[in-house]
Amino acid sequence: MIHDIYIVTDFKIVAPYTLRIWFDDASEQTVNFWPLLRGELFSPLRDVNFFNQVQLDEEAGTLVWPNGADFDPATLHDWDEVGEAMIQMAQSWPVVEKVAA
């Protein structure tokens, strides 16, 4: 099986939890991340202020958040094909509430 490798070259926040993402092959994709923000790693991104701290890791060619959360650029690139399956998978992950410090 061939797995194409894509690099995220830029992004823009276009709505709450939604990013417009540009790739090295001149394609672009708009992804609403809200349905994926579950589980231990991704639940903190449910705080829109934290979600908006997303940055482009130019060395890795992907989007990253301060807690280390990231998504495979190939998954983001092919969102039209794999997004529904990703959302279905994420629905099995629990929403992790913040623990009071």
> 100: how many CB neighbours lie within 10 A of its CB?
4
| Predicted local distance difference test score (pLDDT) of residue 4 | 81
Q: Which of 71 and 4 is assigned the larger pLDDT?
A: 71
Contact 52, 38 (CB under 8 A): no
- Checking if the pLDDT of 99 tops 60, the result is no
Distance CA 87, CA 93 (A): 10
3-state secondary structure of 12: strand
Domains for the chain: give ranges and CATH numbers: 8-90 (3.30.2020.10)
pTM tops 0.85, yes or no: yes
Q: What are the tens digits of pLDDT across the range 19-64?
A: 999 999 999 999 999 999 999 999 999 999 999 999 999 999 999 9
- Checking if the pLDDT of 98 tops 70, the result is no
Please state, for a pLDDT cut of 70, what percent of the chain lies above it.
Answer: 93
